[in-house]
């Protein structure tokens, strides 16, 4: 490069600040790459940012620009395709590019900063006055010319250290040098084993039929997307394994996303059986160093199969040719906080497109969005309906809990007469039972019998849940725990009612009805320690207890051969949440758990208890009912132009002051109104849970009808600059966030 030319770089920062800044780069740095981190001056501080553009200009041009302080990464940690993907994510989710880039690096890849003190002039202090501390520092430096700042301070003591350093600096005796280190280039090692000469992954005829178009995509030049709709137990995993092996032997890499950390060991083990230590695991519960190590193995090309949760959508596979999203309907694929608020499932579609990879979305109960996309021809829909090595669809019994309660009291609403009989039958024949109650604690509502007052968490607008195990009231949103009052704080009455059914209450009822039965409860309260989730499922599989009772956690993971009865305690839980996806979620959960009943020869049975058994999502197990349900719910969404028919974007303003949260939302609303151009605006209104962890939250939603890409793109550009404007106007405590395609409506 001509030395009279200066390089200019554009830098973004991992901050909500959504701006690009330019800096001069010393001309001798010719190794700088897109995506590298640099330390630069920003608002009188030194900040770390990412290089997103490099240009060169004539010497005078960059005169007014500030100079880069230090280049941190010796090579870019991102491939060009990855950079393209990250830019897309930033644009689509209206999220600052710097934050997206930071999210794409493993936590263990932080920047290491070191500060050194160096003696530059031995004579600078001649004839000058020393303080005691200055003298100590000076003498130490005379012996060895440079020290790490922290080490020196530690040795001398912090008393008067900073002012002594300042005086020495002023006198020109010393200088302080700050250096950074980050990502080092990894020598490529694409030594991962690819040819797996092992027993054939045998496919049934039904599976082979489904596999044939996938094979076509993997071996052809135009990779496609598939929605694999396969009932529980139809053997989707065999399809995944087969596709992975084919991809590997073609020289490609494979990424498998799973919805929960607890499910990674199971899938990783299954893939490990075939592909050995070529398999890497990535998830947020790993230690920083484990994550970094896995990331580096993948980056080097040593590992070509990655199994991981949401954030592994950023896995640095260099030749990604197959991307699998298992249980694609799961809400956990969406990051709700902090930015970028992305959906790994939706991002997978884009990453597959950029990389030229085959995309495989798998589910027993696909999301409405994916069903819609399949219908529109965006994915090829493939159905796997035969239960692999299993008996027919289980028999369903619907129980009206209201009638049970009238007949036999509240305890019959927990375990109905029929469910009790069925449990007794299965226990006596040595079979196992799964019971679902998607609510933890003992009782989700503590209410005064006299005045109706319900105890609420003071920091959140959420009623306390009574926990029998700890005899306390817990807030399930912020974790606050407090003693149960002995009288109503409103009217002084001592008669408090514990209403509703939590898992602990079901557990107690079971022990009353079946004193000798071995029950394992599985919810967030029993699975807080590492691997406990996995251990419970494993113990159940081994037959260490008879009944597995739990929240939605029990819906997935491990196949249980010996389970022949599934009971759903209150199928309505969650059905009346103010969320347009409430019935879809209810339907999915019930279908998943119901699908666990039955084994090779003995058909399973499912007892569904509900206060509203005629509700469609509650009747939706079995293939025909599923189809009916999808049709009905699709119609409803279309009528309201809710997703997948329209695009929903939620703006939220939050503050510890209710008024300022409200004013923030009003401001957003007024700007949106100007640019909404006929799109539906909802709000400003408080969030369903208005106060959460002491902060008030107000929202404005915009529903963009139709999803025409070009118009959406224009709209988003406007929205983005609007966000910048509003953020500038807002007071400090006020936070503003934007969520594109939100999943959590509460």
Residue numbers of the site for Zn ion (CB under 5 A)? 440-441, 448, 450-451, 453, 457, 459-460, 465, 474-475, 477-478, 480, 488, 490-491, 493
678: left (phi over 0), alpha (psi -120 to 50) or beta: left
As measured in angstroms, the least distance from the Cβ of 502 to Zn ion is: 7
Q: Which is nearer to Zn ion, 362 or 502 (CB)?
A: 502
Q: How far is the CB of 335 from Zn ion (least distance, A)?
A: 22
Rounded Cα–Cα distance for residues 287 and 294 (Å): 11
Among 186, 108, 117, 119, CA closest to 155: 117
Alpha-helical regions (H) of 175-303: 205-219, 236-249, 264-275, 288-300
Q: Which residues of 439-473 are buried (b: 16+ CB within 10 A; e: fewer)?
A: bbbbbbebbbeeeebebebebbbbbbbbbeeeebb
CA–CA gap between residue 214 and residue 221 (Å, rounded):
12
- Let me know: does 103 contact 72? Beta carbons within 8 Å: no
Give the angle subtended at the CA of 573 by the CAs of 570 and 579, to the nearest 5°: 155
Q: How far is the CB of 454 from Zn ion (least distance, A)?
A: 10
Q: Which is nearer to Zn ion, 157 or 458 (CB)?
A: 458
Q: How far is the CB of 441 from Zn ion (least distance, A)?
A: 4
- Smallest distance from Zn ion to CB 652, Å: 18
d(CA 33, CA 724): 28
Q: Both tokens of residue 385?
A: 């309906």
CB of 481 to Zn ion, least distance (A): 9
Between 392 and 491, whose beta carbon lies closer to Zn ion?
491
- DSSP class of residue 278 equals G
In the complex with Zn ion, the residue whose CB is nearer, 429 or 528, is 528
Minimum distance from CB of 583 to Zn ion (Å)? 25
Nearer to Zn ion, 455 or 741 (CB): 455
Select 429 or 529, whichever has its Cβ closest to Zn ion.
Answer: 529
Complex with Zn ion: residue 392 or 451, whichever CB lies closer: 451
Q: Are 716 and 722 in contact (CB under 8 A)?
A: no
Closer Cβ to Zn ion, 12 or 488, answer by number: 488
Q: Please write down the long-range contacts of 443-446, taking CB distance under 8 Å and 24 or more positions apart.
A: 443/498, 443/499, 443/500, 443/501, 443/502, 443/505, 444/499, 444/500, 444/501, 444/502, 445/497, 445/498, 445/499, 445/500, 446/473, 446/484, 446/496, 446/497, 446/498, 446/499
Where on the phi/psi map is residue 159: left (φ > 0), alpha (ψ -120 to 50), or beta? beta
Tokens of 349: 């579609």
Q: Which is nearer to Zn ion, 488 or 618 (CB)?
A: 488
Cα-based distances in Å from 281 to 298, 315, 425, 639: 10, 10, 42, 43
Taking the complex as a whole, how short is the minimal distance between the CB of residue 461 and Zn ion, in angstroms?
9
Cross-strand partners of 119: 174
Helices (H), 144-203: 149-156, 161-170
Pick between residue 318 and residue 459 the one whose CB is nearest to Zn ion: 459
Q: What is the closest distance, in whole angstroms, from the C-beta atom of residue 495 to Zn ion in the complex? A: 9
């058909």: which residue's tokens? 603
Q: How many Å is the maximal CA-CA distance in the chain?
A: 101
First to last CA, the chain: 56
Distances (CA, A) of 101 to 289, 297, 355, 724: 19, 20, 18, 19
> Shortest distance, CB of residue 453 to Zn ion, whole angstroms?
4
Least distance between Zn ion and beta carbon 538 (Å): 24
Looking at the Cβ atoms of 291 and 476, the one nearer to Zn ion is: 476
User: Of the two residues 457 and 537, which places its CB atom closer to Zn ion in the complex?
Assistant: 457
CA 412 to centroid of chain Cα atoms: 38
What distances in angstroms separate CA 426 from CA 432, 436, 484, 515, one per listed residue? Answer: 7, 17, 38, 15
Shortest reach from residue 339's CB to Zn ion, in Å = 23
């Amino acid at each position: 490069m001509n030395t009279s030319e200066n390089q200019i770089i554009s830098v973004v920062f991992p901050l909500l600040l959504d701006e690009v800044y330019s800096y001069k780069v010393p001309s001798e740095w010719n190794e700088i790459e897109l995506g590298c981190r640099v330390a630069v001056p920003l608002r009188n501080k030194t900040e770390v940012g990412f290089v997103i553009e490099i240009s060169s200009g004539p010497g005078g041009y960059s005169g007014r620009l500030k100079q880069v302080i230090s280049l941190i990464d010796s090579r870019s940690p991102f491939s060009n395709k990855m950079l393209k993907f990250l830019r897309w994510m930033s644009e689509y989710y209206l999220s600052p590019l710097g934050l997206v880039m930071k999210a794409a690096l493993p936590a263990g890849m932080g920047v290491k900063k070191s500060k050194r003190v160096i003696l530059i002039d031995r004579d600078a202090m001649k004839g000058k006055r020393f303080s005691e501390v200055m003298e100590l520092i000076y003498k130490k430096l005379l012996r060895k010319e440079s020290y790490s700042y922290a080490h020196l301070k530690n040795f001398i003591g912090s008393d008067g250290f900073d002012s002594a350093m300042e005086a020495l600096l002023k006198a020109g005796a010393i200088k302080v040098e700050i250096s950074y280190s980050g990502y080092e280039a990894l020598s490529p090692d694409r030594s991962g084993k690819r040819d797996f000469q092992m027993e054939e992954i045998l496919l049934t005829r039904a599976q082979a039929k489904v596999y044939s178009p996938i094979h076509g995509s993997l071996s052809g030049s135009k990779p496609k997307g598939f929605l694999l709709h396969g009932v529980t137990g139809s053997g989707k995993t065999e399809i995944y394994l087969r596709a992975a092996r084919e991809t590997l032997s073609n020289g490609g890499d494979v990424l498998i996303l799973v919805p929960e950390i607890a499910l990674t060991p199971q899938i990783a083990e299954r893939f490990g059986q075939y592909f050995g230590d070529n398999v890497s695991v990535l998830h947020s519960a790993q230690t920083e160093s484990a994550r970094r190590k896995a990331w580096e193995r993948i980056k080097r090309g040593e590992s070509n199969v990655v199994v991981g949760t949401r954030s592994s959508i950023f896995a640095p596979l260099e030749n990604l040719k197959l991307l699998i999203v298992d249980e694609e309907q799961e809400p956990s694929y969406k990051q709700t906080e902090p930015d970028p608020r992305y959906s790994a499932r939706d991002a997978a579609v884009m990453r597959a497109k950029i990389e030229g990879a085959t995309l495989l979305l798998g589910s027993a109960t696909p999301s409405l969005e994916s069903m819609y996309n399949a219908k529109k021809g965006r994915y090829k829909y493939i159905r796997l309906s035969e239960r692999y090595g299993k008996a027919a669809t289980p028999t369903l019994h619907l129980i009206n809990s209201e009638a049970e309660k009238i007949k036999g009291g509240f305890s019959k609403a927990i375990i109905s007469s029929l469910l009790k009989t069925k449990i007794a039958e299965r226990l006596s024949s040595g079979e196992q039972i799964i019971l679902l109650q998607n609510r933890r604690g003992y009782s989700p509502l503590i209410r005064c019998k006299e005045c109706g007052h319900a105890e609420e968490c003071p920091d959140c607008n959420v009623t306390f849940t009574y926990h029998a195990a700890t005899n306390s009231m817990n807030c399930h949103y912020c974790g606050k725990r407090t003693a149960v009052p002995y009288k109503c704080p409103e009217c002084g009455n001592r008669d408090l009612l514990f209403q509703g059914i939590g898992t602990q209450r079901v557990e107690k009822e079971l022990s009353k009805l079946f004193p000798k039965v071995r029950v394992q409860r599985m919810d967030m309260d029993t699975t807080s320690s590492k691997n406990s989730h996995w251990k419970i499922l494993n113990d159940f599989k081994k037959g260490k207890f008879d009944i597995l009772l739990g929240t939605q956690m029990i819906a997935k993971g491990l196949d249980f051969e010996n389970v022949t009865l599934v009971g759903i305690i209150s199928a309505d839980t969650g059905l009346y949440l103010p969320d347009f996806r409430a019935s879809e979620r209810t339907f999915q959960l019930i279908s998943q758990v119901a699908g666990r009943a039955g084994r090779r020869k003995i058909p399973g049975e499912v007892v569904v208890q509900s206060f509203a058994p005629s509700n469609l999502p509650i009747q939706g197990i079995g293939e025909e009912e599923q189809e009916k349900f999808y049709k009905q719910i699709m119609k409803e969404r279309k009528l309201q132009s809710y997703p997948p028919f329209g695009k929903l974007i939620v703006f939220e303003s939050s503050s510890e002051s209710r008024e300022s949260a409200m004013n923030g939302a009003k401001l957003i609303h007024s700007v949106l109104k100007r640019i909404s151009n006929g799109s539906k605006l909802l709000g400003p209104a408080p969030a369903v849970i208005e106060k959460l962890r002491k902060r008030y939250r107000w929202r404005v939603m915009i529903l963009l009808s139709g999803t025409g890409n070009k118009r959406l793109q224009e709209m988003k550009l406007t929205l983005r600059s609007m966000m910048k404007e509003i953020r500038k106007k807002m007071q400090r405590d006020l936070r503003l966030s934007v969520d594109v395609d939100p999943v959590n409506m509460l």
